[in-house]
Amino acid sequence: MERPSQQASGAGPGSGSRSVWHWLIATGCLLVVLLGLVVTRIQNGPAKPPGSINTRPPGAGGDAAVLRRARPARRPADAGIRMSAEETVAAKLSRFARSRRALARAMAKQFKVELPADVERFFDAAEAGRWEELKALWSAIDAGRKSGNDSEGQWVVLQAVHETYGVAEVAHDWPAQKLLDYGEAVLGALRPGMVYVGGTDAGRFIPTLLNETSDGEDHVVLTQNALADGTYLQYLGFLYGDRMATLTGDDSQQAFQNYMADAQKRFAHDQEFPQEPKQVQPGEGIQVTDGRVQVSGQVAVFMVAENLLNTLMSKNPSLSFALEESFPFKSTYPDAAPLGPIMELRAQDSSDAFTADAAAQALDYWRTTTQQLPIGSDTSQDQAVLRTYSKLVATQAGLLAAHDFNAEAEQAYRLAIEICPDSPEAVFRYVTLLLTQQRFADAIPVAEAAVNVAPDTQQFRDLLEALKKKSAGR
């Protein structure tokens, strides 16, 4: 639903169209050198292109603090009046839509903009649970944004509409009970005061829904994928400016400039030393035209977003952060540790630092969780669940490998593939781990199995062919 832009410009802030769903697999340098392959299928980016880095400062809380409410300790989603899971999710979606309608109105007042006529009808449909109508209205609103008919201030306000659509979409795509289970697993893993950074659609929107409609602590919830979008930063400032130091337009510009300087340096290295491992990442389009550096691609956008997440954490040294990953932010790995189904950032200063016991516990967690999943089901709703959990496991496997827990990482990758055999994240990251250990004979069957499950996936066929060629030429 949410997708990252593929464009960024060395000339300064720019804009581009939203891409379709992609999973972007961050393979290790060895895999890049040996195979020259990249997998691009990353889920979740901002609705407005994050390549457009806004220089205007976000708000400072606005009326959002008035709209929020204090909550007692978290209790099960079906406590009180007994409702089915479907009724519970429907009630939560209606409640969430009401709160976002009020938020949109408050933001429109503060930013002095007039909302499109379809917005009120959109919230009517969202509150009533009329999915097809809601979907059509969002398409019309989004088309207006793409045509440039809305102002920047208007799009800041429409972030509330976009978030409501994202919540409604996952509520439509997921089995109700699995949605509640997943949301409680994520939110239940958070410690008091933690800031939660979602990544995938499910990882952002399901916790957002439950965070604001369940009894319990009201966490700060944001997404890693939209951090390079200036209007999203203003939205965060309005929502949470009274609770944390949010990112500003100056932060965006600095992150962009830092990335451009680093990209130019890495590009120059690759030109000067063509026999050495490439420093420009696969999918990171860097060109120099008339002495001017230009970059494009989702990798570039996410590298800016990674810089911004690190800036956000630096600006809030007293806060703890948890991440559900879409694109790997490798700079966060050295100090990260597993936290239930997600990961804690800056964990080196906590009692939950990444130890051998923590690695074993993480693997046990996923063994138990895997047994509770609808593995083998081919319904579209169950497939959405399986892909989400497979990615979660693959993410923690990558974290395990980054901390040299390779045996545990390998077992976790196997679990991820068991959950979803054609998961690009699981397949490519597992192959990367095996290649770092020079285990070509073990890597080839992993690729073969992926091809057997998804014979039409060209990336799997390319991977298998490259592995066989490299193995034969050793």
pLDDT confidence band for 474 (50 / 70 / 90): low
The pTM of the full predicted model, rounded to 2 decimals, is 0.84
pLDDT confidence band for 290 (50 / 70 / 90): confident
Q: pLDDT, tens digit, for every residue of 301-312?
A: 999 999 999 999
In a domain, 120, yes or no: yes
In a domain, 37, yes or no: no
In a domain, 148, yes or no: yes
DSSP string across 195-255 = EEEE-SHHHHHHHHHHHHHSSS---EEEEGGGTT-HHHHHHHHHHHTTTS----HHHHHHH
Out of 153, 187, 217, pick the residue that ends a domain: 217
In a domain, 100, yes or no: yes
In a domain, 171, yes or no: yes
In a domain, 337, yes or no: no
Out of 217, 243, 265, pick the residue that ends a domain: 217
Residue 204 vs residue 56, higher pLDDT: 204
* Domain enclosing residue 456, as ranges: 355-474
Phi and psi torsions of 81, nearest 5°: -65, 125
Number of domains in the chain: 2
CATH number for the domain harbouring residue 459: 1.25.40.10
In a domain, 153, yes or no: yes
Q: pLDDT, tens digit, for every residue of 155-213?
A: 899 999 999 999 999 999 999 999 999 999 999 999 999 999 999 999 999 999 999 99
Out of 165, 188, 217, pick the residue that ends a domain: 217
Residue 126 has pLDDT above 90, yes or no: yes
Question: And the tokens for 52?
Answer: 């457009």
Which residues lie closer than 8 Å to 249 by C-beta, 6 or more apart? 54, 55, 56, 57, 58, 230, 233
Distance CA 361, CA 426 (A): 20
In a domain, 444, yes or no: yes
Q: pLDDT, tens digit, for every residue of 338-391?
A: 999 999 999 976 555 789 999 999 999 999 999 999 999 999 999 999 999 999
